[in-house]
Amino acid sequence: MALIVHKYGGTSMGSTERIQQVAKRVAKWARAGHQMIVVPSAMSGETNRLLALAKELAPAHSTPNTLRELDMIAATGEQVSVGLLSLALQAEGAPAVSFAGWQVPVRTDCAYTKARIGAIDDQRVRKELDAGKVVIITGFQGVDDQGNITTLGRGGSDTSAVAIAAAMKADECLIYTDVDGVYTTDPRIVPEARRMGVLSFEEMLEMASMGSKVLQIRAVEFAVKYSMPIRVLSSFTPWDIPVEEEENSGTLITFEEDEKMEKALVSGIAFNRDEAKISVLGVPDRPGIAYQILGTVADANIEVDAIIQNISKDGKTDFTFTVNQSDYARTMELLQEKIMPATGAAEIIGDTKISKVSIVGIGMRSHAGVASKMFRALAEEGINIQMIATSEIKTSVVIDEKYLELAVRALHKAFELDAPDEAPASA
């Protein structure tokens, strides 16, 4: 008997019919003799609907008090899902019980709308599992020290599932979604994208951090920290396929040492439309200036991504960096209010019409010339590169958002990631 965690995303939970399919699948795993924990997301579109309602009443950007209420509202989507799934499982004859995050409890810090999980109590869950029940726990939410409900950031149910799997020392964590695995790039943008059978944690971490939304980045961070291999697979296969078949499908994300791992030069192309670029122009080029600007932004709990500093001219320099679109207005305001007067910056300019495209692969470590091949492919399409950021296993560029899809397709082709043409059927 193994302890298995299943996570089902919004589309997988999108209607009562879909929830019945999920229940049948989970009941099948339970009948196969496994202890089951299920972590569902809100039904598709529900979190957007809830946040849009909130926006109608509080359109201005957020204070800690408004953020607290946003979490109170957004967390209800998952609460509906766990209750419905529990009813569906009981109708299948599988004893089940649902818990909201605070009932487990899943403890987080108090950073509303992007809280981090600190600890998960396993006692209550363990007791119900030992009583033979399927335990269903809300994704995306937790509770802070003061008993306030928190949420983990969009796509956060992935993180809930992996963190729960790690805390419960589960044998497997299966992430069921609306695609049948992790592809070389988003198959909605490049239909020729190829599913990868195995992917290293490190590559998945880069793919996720560069914007591939198939897994939330913090989910991958947890998986790495607790050595919890995860499998991404489809919830749209017939529910009654054998458990063993499911266990070998989709994409396994695991250690680099795994013998199944191919060391591809570039294994995938990730992209992110959700960033904005900010430049602080004409600041004095002196020690501490980067800290002054970026420290102020970090203190406001805003994450900064690609950063460049220009060569200094006449003792002045320029800083450019990217932040998430949702933090853009707040960052601009912060810079105008604090950094302009403190540094005497000449100007602060922003651009929200940018996108970031990244190539990712562990093979890049040992091969020179990968970045230049990327730049050539973009140049051939007439795409201008505004910023470049690199790590050992990825190169990212910031470009005008209108060229995003073109860039992704061009790079997918240049690095020969397109799936081979289907062999013609023999007569």
Note the residues at the interface with Mg ion (CB under 5 A): 9, 155
Q: Which of residues 184-223 bind ligand ADP (CB under 6 A)?
A: 185-188, 212-214
Least separation in angstroms between residue 90's CB and ligand ADP is: 24
Q: Which of residues 37-76 bind ligand ADP (CB under 6 A)?
A: 41
Least separation in angstroms between residue 49's CB and Mg ion is: 16
Size of interface with ligand ASP, in residues (CB under 6 A): 13
- Of ligand ASP, ligand ADP, Mg ion, none, which one does residue 140 interact with (CB within 5 to 8 Å by kind)? ligand ASP
The answer to the question of residue 40 lying near ligand ASP (CB under 6 A) is no
| Residue of 109, 125, 116 whose CA lies nearest to 170 | 125
| Residue of 202, 218, 106 whose CA lies nearest to 158 | 218
Q: Which of residues 368-387 bind ligand ASP (CB under 6 A)?
A: none
Q: Which of residues 149-168 bind ligand ASP (CB under 6 A)?
A: 154-158
**Do residues 334 and 374 make contact, with C-beta atoms less than 8 angstroms apart?**
no
Structure tokens at 134: 């399927």
The number of beta carbons lying within 10 Å of the beta carbon of residue 166 is 19
Cα–Cα distance between 192 and 421 in angstroms, integer? Answer: 9
- Of ligand ADP, Mg ion, ligand ASP, none, which one does residue 186 interact with (CB within 5 to 8 Å by kind)? ligand ADP
Least separation in angstroms between residue 393's CB and ligand ASP is: 26
User: At 232, which helix (H) or strand (E)?
Assistant: strand 230-234
Least separation in angstroms between residue 195's CB and ligand ADP is: 8
- Of ligand ASP, ligand ADP, Mg ion, none, which one does residue 11 interact with (CB within 5 to 8 Å by kind)? ligand ADP
- Of Mg ion, ligand ADP, ligand ASP, none, which one does residue 188 interact with (CB within 5 to 8 Å by kind)? ligand ADP
Q: With respect to Mg ion, which residue has the nearer C-beta, 9 or 361?
A: 9
**Near ligand ADP by CB under 6 A: residue from 4, 5, 10, 335:** 10
The answer to the question of residue 81 lying near ligand ADP (CB under 6 A) is no
Q: With respect to ligand ASP, which residue has the nearer C-beta, 112 or 140?
A: 140
Structure tokens at 159: 């993180």
Q: End-to-end distance of the chain based on CA atoms, in angstroms?
A: 47
**Do residues 148 and 108 make contact, with C-beta atoms less than 8 angstroms apart?**
no
Least separation in angstroms between residue 10's CB and ligand ADP is: 4
Using DSSP, state whether 176 is helix, strand or coil: strand
For residue 51, count CB atoms less than 10 angstroms from its CB and return exposed for 0-12, middle for 13-18, buried for 19 or more: middle
**Do residues 277 and 341 make contact, with C-beta atoms less than 8 angstroms apart?**
no
Beginning with the edge strand found earlier in the chain, give each strand of the sheet holding 149-151 in spatial order.
117-120, 106-108, 141-143, 149-151
The answer to the question of residue 112 lying near ligand ASP (CB under 6 A) is no
Residue 213 Cα to chain centre, angstroms: 5
The answer to the question of residue 140 lying near ligand ASP (CB under 6 A) is yes
Least separation in angstroms between residue 211's CB and ligand ADP is: 8
Cα–Cα distance between 77 and 70 in angstroms, integer? Answer: 12
Q: With respect to Mg ion, which residue has the nearer C-beta, 41 or 317?
A: 41
**Do residues 90 and 134 make contact, with C-beta atoms less than 8 angstroms apart?**
no
**What are the b/e assignments for 229-248, b being 16+ CB within 10 Å?**
bbbbbebebebeeeeeebee
Beginning with the edge strand found earlier in the chain, give each strand of the sheet holding 354-360 in spatial order.
268-272, 354-360, 394-400, 387-391
Identify the DSSP state of 82. Answer: H
- Of ligand ADP, ligand ASP, Mg ion, none, which one does residue 417 interact with (CB within 5 to 8 Å by kind)? none
Q: In the bound complex, which residue of the shown chain has the CB atom lying closest to ligand ADP? A: 9
Q: Which of residues 122-181 bind ligand ADP (CB under 6 A)?
A: 155, 177-179
Q: With respect to ligand ADP, which residue has the nearer C-beta, 177 or 322?
A: 177
Using DSSP, state whether 222 is helix, strand or coil: helix
Q: Which residues contact ligand ADP by CB under 6 A? A: 9-12, 41, 155, 177-179, 182-183, 185-188, 212-214, 268
Residues that bind ligand ASP (CB under 6 A): 9-10, 41-42, 47, 77, 139-140, 154-158
